[in-house]
A and B are shown apart, each in its own frame.
Chain A
């Protein structure tokens, strides 16, 4: 496996949708290529950090206000 071939399957590797055969080729490549190993680990970490930290949180009081407004408008549609 070359570095370009690694990049082509990077998303599948992250999403854990590669075959056993490809996984073996990947592991051989990563043992030899520090750059691709860093790319894989840091890209995985990037996704994990964004998943674990909600940067646009909706405070409860805002959520309650918006929720009531939505339901009021839906009721008006029915009236």
Chain B
């Protein structure tokens, strides 16, 4: 079993946006997709997904509509809106900047000081 990590506070929204940006997904699908694209490295408490989904929907970053799941059951599918796409781009950029900065900071050696 690979090492897992808890999701950093504030990054769940970003991961959800990323997951639904690839293709419309239902809630459980979002969970699976995040697990898949993070190579099972990120653990999300399952239930906490829903408040986050509702918040994003409320903010107009994703929309939802009823559809049919693979096993022929009714499920709510989430899609990224143009506003969501913009937000994902911003968040990705800012995350990358932050990650690079932190990596640089942590990679510093005595010589460089």
Q: Do A and B come from the same complex?
A: no
B-side residues, CB < 8 A to A, are none
